[in-house]
Amino acid sequence: MASLRRFTVRLLVAAVSFVVVTAAVLLAGSAIALAIEWDIPQARGTLKGPTVVYDRDGRVLARLAAEVEFRPATLDEISVHLRNAVVATEDRRFYEHQGVDPLSVLRAVVSNVRFGGIREGGSTLTQQYVKNVYVGDDRTLYRKIREALVSLQLEKERSKDEILEAYLNEVYFGEGAYGAEAAARTYFGKRASELGPGEAAVLASVLSAPSALSPRADRDGAKARRNVVLSEMVRAGYLSPRRAAREQRARVRLNDRARPAQFAPYFVEEVRAQLIAAYGDRAVYKGGLRVTTTLDRARQAALELHVRRNLPTSPSLDVGAAAVRPDNGDVLAAWSGRDFRASEVDLALGRGSTGRPSGSTFKVFALVTALEEGRSLSSSYPAPGQVTIGDWSPTGSGGCPSPCSVLEATVRSANTVFAQLARDVGAEDFTTTARRLGVRQRFPDPTITNVLGTENVTPLDMASAFATLANDGVACPARVITEVRDVDGDRLEPPDPRQPSAALRRRFRARLRELGYDLGDEKLGRCYRAVAPSVARSATQALAAAVTRGTGQRADIGRPQAGKTGTSQESREAWFVGYTPQLSLAVSLFHRDAQRPLAGVPGCSSTCFGGELPAQIWHDAARALLAGVAPEPFTEPGRDERRIPDRRRLGPGMERSDAPATGDG
């Protein structure tokens, strides 16, 4: 105990010493820097033009520019409330320091030591302005030193009001709004001079993370952040407690967005979001990027046409649909919702949404796992009307005779058979298989009930995963951007957010090796081997039968195809996901405003199933999307690539041998 006490005392002494020395160095450094004349570098180019987005054929799809163009404003034309809100929250000692604030840096050091990481940066408003205009935001010590020196010199040459005016005209407020005037018009439809304390506090509250803290995306969060800023204004003496309390009780009122109508607006918003995440707002709105996307304009129009023709008029009913090219992951088309102006939540690609329960379409991942672990399509299970596994008692044999083969259980979508299959392969294994194939939703606590599609996924998740089977087991993560060039024509690394990390891809390869598959050293670029060819082909064989003579017959378009129906609990969601060698398409139908049963829907029986209206939409859309594309057959199942003993005859619970063996297995 005494030794622990001595260690604690020494640690505190060391921390205090570090803080004191840091403060001394900062004060000395600031004094020296103030005594020297430094050169202010040339301002970086701030406007190279908007980003231009092209479809896959090189035609302009959209221009990503601010909704309200930049308009400079003098300090007198900017509300005193906005000036005060920004100073109170971003740099309360702005009128006291000389460009760099040693006390703020010291506070940040203490806070970061207590927090155990970087929590505060200690930058002044002057430093933030210098970073944006002169030195950039590289995370290097050299840049930070240069930023401090330029800030000190700038304060020698300009008044505080000049610096504050320049900052408020340069800073980014989100939604493409650079500067106070554009921000006031974008969010409130008024001039910057007309902003009240509450409105000013809303704008000041987004400065720390403009893209993440959009007031439109989270009104409750915006109100809470606004109220914090109002409290800071009171502490700084800029606002009376009574006025602040009145403003804090008010709702956050924002004007309607004035974004013009455009082709495929949800797709464009997904592109915008990915670009901002990869390169930052400034590069997207001012950097003059040239972006080539995967969108096929003709196929997008065809998908929209056939969804609209089939979708009932009830405004609460909607569809999520995503079409993916299997050999490269290109998202060719997507239906993300009826009306972008009414709701920007993307029902297909997932922006702003976690998706919906997928029902029995998720059984495919248990099927794939069972096949790669050594079972075959002829493996059989009892098919009772109800089966009890622990405290779970699913019902529904699909009319499959008992015993029922895995093939027939897939064709008939037999719940009780797949419940037993899920028990045998394990929830961890089949949910990991889903991620290997292309599902990007996480399953933090998987259970065997997930086999019936109880967790949320997006249509893009399912289209991407089924595309892996269409591509002979090679997963090409779905993408919407293929090329990005800067204003000088140089290529940038395009965003690829659905690409698994290198560590995850190593885990996927290790899983195949663990299962005994010897697939050689394939060079697949951005794609990767997810399952063995023999497994993908056998799964396709079963899913093809589900279309020709099973629950998915309504989706049959008269060419080689495979697919799976899905209906979630109480028929709240109905799915059909299918593929050919050239296309993977997922269609999901549900009530947009709530999870309630699909009852009385035209094109369905009393309650809607995946083999009804979703399969019909798939049929009409897929036929149009594949117009002019010659049918191709699937590759027949052949040699099993496993190099472990044949385990297809093993029963549940029997140990397997992982020892290498010769032969096909």
Q: Tell me how far apart the alpha carbons of residues 178 and 175 are, in angstroms, rounded to a whole number.
A: 9
pTM over 0.85: no
Residue 589 exposed, middle or buried by CB count within 10 Å (0-12, 13-18, 19+): buried
For residue 522 the two structure tokens come to: 């394939």
Residues sharing a CB contact under 8 Å with residue 305, sequence separation 6 or more, in sequence order: 624
> Please, are residues 47 and 286 in contact by the beta-carbon 8 Å criterion?
yes
Coil/strand/helix, residue 206? coil
Q: What is the pLDDT of residue 145?
A: 83
Q: What is the pLDDT of residue 48?
A: 64
Residue type, 171: V
Q: What is the pLDDT of residue 29?
A: 46
Angle (CA) 594 339 593, round 5°:
5
Phi and psi at 641, nearest 5°, equal -80, 0
Beta strands 481-485 and 60-64 are: unpaired
Indicate if 302-480+500-625 has the same CATH topology as 68-249: no
Coil/strand/helix, residue 646? coil
Q: What is the pLDDT of residue 22?
A: 44
Beta strands 573-580 and 562-567 are: antiparallel
Residues sharing a CB contact under 8 Å with residue 474, sequence separation 6 or more, in sequence order: 468, 522, 524, 527, 528, 529, 530
- Residues 532-580 pLDDT 10s: 999 999 999 999 999 999 999 999 999 999 999 999 999 999 999 999 9
Phi and psi at 324, nearest 5°, equal -125, 140
Q: Tell me how far apart the alpha carbons of residues 156 and 152 are, in angstroms, rounded to a whole number.
A: 7
Coil/strand/helix, residue 578? strand
Q: How many residues does this entry show for the chain?
A: 665
CA separation (Å) from 546 to 39, 286, 439?
A: 73, 51, 22
Cα dihedral sign, 217-223-224-228: positive
Domain coordinates in residue numbering, the chain: 68-249, 302-480+500-625
Cα dihedral sign, 593-594-600-601: positive
Cα dihedral sign, 194-196-197-201: negative
Residue type, 91: D
Q: What is the pLDDT of residue 317?
A: 95
Coil/strand/helix, residue 457? strand
Phi and psi at 100, nearest 5°, equal -125, 135
Coil/strand/helix, residue 54? strand
Q: Tell me how far apart the alpha carbons of residues 506 and 256 are, in angstroms, rounded to a whole number.
A: 47
Strands of the sheet containing 573-580, edge to edge, are 331-335, 317-324, 583-591, 573-580, 562-567
Q: What is the DSSP string of 34-47?
A: HTS--PPPPPPP--
> Please, are residues 177 and 183 in contact by the beta-carbon 8 Å criterion?
yes
Q: What is the CATH number of domain 68-249?
A: 1.10.3810.10
Coil/strand/helix, residue 483? strand
CB atoms within 10 A of CB 114: 9
Angle (CA) 365 368 373, round 5°:
125
Residues in the chain where the model's pLDDT stays below 50: 7, 9, 11, 13-35, 108-121, 645-665
Q: Tell me how far apart the alpha carbons of residues 519 and 512 are, in angstroms, rounded to a whole number.
A: 9
Q: With CA atoms as reference, report the closest residue to 543 among 525, 564, 518.
A: 564
> Please, are residues 532 and 641 in contact by the beta-carbon 8 Å criterion?
yes
According to CATH, the superfamily of the domain at 302-480+500-625 is DD-peptidase/beta-lactamase superfamily (3.40.710.10)
Q: What is the DSSP string of 315-350?
A: TTEEEEEEEE-TTT-BEEEEE--S-TTT----TTT-
CA separation (Å) from 80 to 83, 114, 146, 196, 340?
A: 5, 35, 31, 9, 36
Residues sharing a CB contact under 8 Å with residue 141, sequence separation 6 or more, in sequence order: none
Q: What is the pLDDT of residue 530?
A: 95
> What is the maximum span of the chain, computed from C-alpha positions, in angstroms?
91
Angle between helix axes 427-437 and 363-372 (nearest 10 degrees) is 100
Which runs of consecutive H residues, i.e. helices, occur in 353-458? Answer: 363-372, 406-412, 415-425, 427-437
